[in-house]
């Protein structure tokens, strides 16, 4: 039935089309069925189809019903040349960076930070932000916060860098790298039967009737007149009781004028007085006592930012003379073992600090001498002064081998690593680095 109906519709459409445009019979037929196939959301009945055939000009059909073939790739296909720009590193850039023996300093900036980012540098970016946040703290120490309702430990400062506030491993890694000092902050005594419950309190019991209605008693003595009383009769610790009831003298300083010769407890229920109350701990979440000697400990830690102390050796004096001469040739004023004040107000000891006399751009040079290879730990150790002082360029000079991946990570912090066992070659590489960015005296 549908086939017959379709046939009739076809015939009528063809007849009307032939009358108006005899030469466009096949074209008009194809356009109408193309419309049906390409527009599933619009189901045309026979009347609508007739109306559209009558009212639509043949030459306008391709404009309103047919999608131009060339338009589809623009909306559905990504141009092949766009992918390498964001995901592929140019081979020649890598080979130059990895195999060039002539230029030992890191040249990753030619590749682009979005094209060659080591996995560890993602964490490194957050570490950099965290160090800046710690610099704002007056004691440069991250302290834990315990939520006794949720029974969890967290560090709110981590939320400021987009890190989970309970990610203690993130801080532990920075402590292992030598960036932060990790110290014990507090030890919580928790229930041995419910170790996940952090909240507990001290309970005092009367040894006679086991009541918890116990109060502490103090015996006070006024040193000047010898007057003695219990705190229940006259409490000298109360600021309102600033006059001795015996000699009528004014109590100006409680700690200096009042002595406490004895302390004990009293049960309000049975009136018993005793020296030592029974002490137990109370698990607040599960509402039961436990013995203090059976309690477990949860240790919390604080993390303090280390102050960088630049290591200086006798060989560095000769290197200093050579670097001063080199940098002076580029119109720099150079200081050796310089104390430089950062944005936080803290001073940092930098082995060599040079400032250009023309544009005031600064170069900070760190020197690390070690037998073992240079690792991420050494990079982290100099981050604090770099981030706080903010020099235009930072050079890390070392005679040690450099672990794979260290230079790209260092570049994420703006550190150029120059390594060679020969000090003379290190000076030569520094010369190459500076000459690419600054003009020598007398040159334009």
> Residue 164: what pLDDT?
92
Q: How confident is the model at residue 165 (pLDDT cuts 50, 70, 90)?
A: very high
113-122, 187-196, 283-292: range with lowest mean pLDDT:
113-122
Give me the mean pLDDT over the 1-5 stretch. 44
Q: Is 274 exposed, middle or buried (0-12, 13-18, 19+ CB in 10 A)?
A: middle
CA distance 131 to 101: 35
Pairing of strands 362-368, 278-283: unpaired
- DSSP for residue 307: P
Which residues in the chain are classed under CATH 3.40.1350.10?
307-435
> Residue 317: what pLDDT?
67
Give me the mean pLDDT over the 8-27 stretch. 44
Q: For residue 426, is pLDDT > 80?
A: yes
> Residue 227: what pLDDT?
93
User: What are the backbone angles phi and psi of residue 363, rounded to the nearest 5°?
Assistant: -120, 125
Q: For residue 397, is pLDDT > 80?
A: yes
Q: For residue 389, is pLDDT > 80?
A: yes
CA distance 303 to 435: 41
- Residues 96-99: contacts with CB within 8 Å, 24+ apart? none
> Residue 370: what pLDDT?
65
User: What are the backbone angles phi and psi of residue 136, rounded to the nearest 5°?
Assistant: -80, -20
Q: For residue 388, is pLDDT > 70?
A: yes
Q: For residue 61, is pLDDT > 60?
A: no
44-53, 91-100, 365-374: range with lowest mean pLDDT:
91-100
CA distance 367 to 374: 12
Output the CATH code of domain 307-435: 3.40.1350.10
Assess contact for 288 and 389: CB atoms under 8 A: no
CA distance 128 to 185: 24
For the question of whether the overall pTM of this predicted structure is more than 0.85, the answer is no
The residues, ordered by sequence, that sit 6+ positions from 315 with a Cβ below 8 Å of its Cβ are 369, 423
Q: Among 165-169, 229-233, 439-443, which range has the highest average pLDDT?
A: 165-169
For the chain, what percent of residues have pLDDT higher than 70?
Answer: 68
Pairing of strands 145-147, 278-283: unpaired
- In 21-178, where do the E strands start and end? 141-142, 145-147, 152-154
Query: Which residue in 381, 225, 250 sits closest to 307, CA to CA?
Result: 381
Q: How confident is the model at residue 207 (pLDDT cuts 50, 70, 90)?
A: very high
Q: What is the pLDDT of residues 322-362, one digit of tens each?
A: 888 899 889 898 887 778 888 777 778 888 899 998 889 99
Give me the mean pLDDT over the 160-171 stretch. 91
End-to-end CA distance of the chain: 90
CA distance 399 to 419: 5
């Amino acid at each position: 039935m549908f086939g017959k109906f379709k046939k009739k519709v076809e015939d009528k459409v063809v007849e009307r089309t032939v009358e108006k445009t005899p030469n466009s019979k096949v074209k008009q037929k194809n356009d109408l069925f193309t419309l049906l196939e390409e527009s599933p959301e619009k189901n045309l009945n026979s009347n609508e189809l007739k109306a559209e055939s009558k009212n639509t000009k043949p030459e306008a059909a391709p404009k309103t019903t047919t999608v131009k073939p060339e338009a589809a790739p623009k909306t559905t296909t990504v141009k092949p040349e766009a992918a390498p720009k964001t995901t592929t590193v140019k081979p020649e850039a890598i080979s130059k960076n990895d195999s060039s023996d002539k230029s030992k300093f890191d040249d990753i900036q030619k590749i682009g930070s979005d094209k060659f980012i080591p996995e560890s540098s993602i964490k490194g970016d957050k570490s950099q932000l965290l160090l800046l946040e710690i610099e704002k703290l007056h004691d440069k120490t991250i302290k834990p916060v315990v939520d006794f309702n949720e029974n969890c430990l967290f560090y709110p400062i981590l939320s400021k860098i987009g890190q989970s506030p309970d990610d203690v491993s993130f801080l532990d890694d920075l402590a292992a790298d030598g960036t932060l000092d990790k110290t014990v902050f507090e030890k919580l005594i928790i229930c041995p039967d419910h170790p996940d419950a952090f909240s507990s309190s001290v309970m005092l019991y009367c040894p006679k009737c086991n009541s918890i209605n116990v109060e502490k008693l103090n015996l006070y003595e006024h040193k000047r007149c010898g007057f003695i009383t219990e705190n229940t009769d006259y409490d000298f610790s109360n600021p309102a009781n600033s006059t001795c009831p015996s000699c009528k003298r004014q109590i100006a300083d409680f700690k200096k004028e009042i002595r406490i010769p004895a302390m004990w407890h009293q049960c309000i229920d049975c009136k018993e007085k005793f020296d030592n109350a029974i002490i137990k701990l109370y698990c607040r979440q599960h509402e039961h006592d436990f013995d203090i000697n059976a309690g477990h400990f949860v240790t919390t830690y604080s993390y303090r930012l280390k102050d960088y102390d630049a290591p200086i050796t006798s060989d560095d004096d000769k290197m200093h003379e050579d670097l001063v001469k080199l940098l002076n040739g580029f119109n720099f004023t150079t200081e050796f073992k310089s104390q430089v004040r950062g944005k936080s107000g803290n001073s940092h000891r930098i082995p060599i600090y040079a400032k250009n006399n023309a544009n005031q751009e600064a170069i900070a040079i760190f020197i690390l001498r070690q037998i073992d290879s240079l690792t991420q730990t050494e990079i982290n150790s100099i981050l604090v002064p770099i981030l706080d002082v903010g020099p235009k360029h930072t050079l890390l000079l070392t005679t040690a081998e450099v672990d794979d991946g260290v230079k790209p990570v260092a570049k994420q912090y703006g550190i150029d690593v120059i390594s060679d066992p020969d000090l003379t070659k290190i000076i030569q590489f520094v010369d190459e680095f500076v000459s690419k960015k600054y003009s020598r005296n007398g040159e334009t």
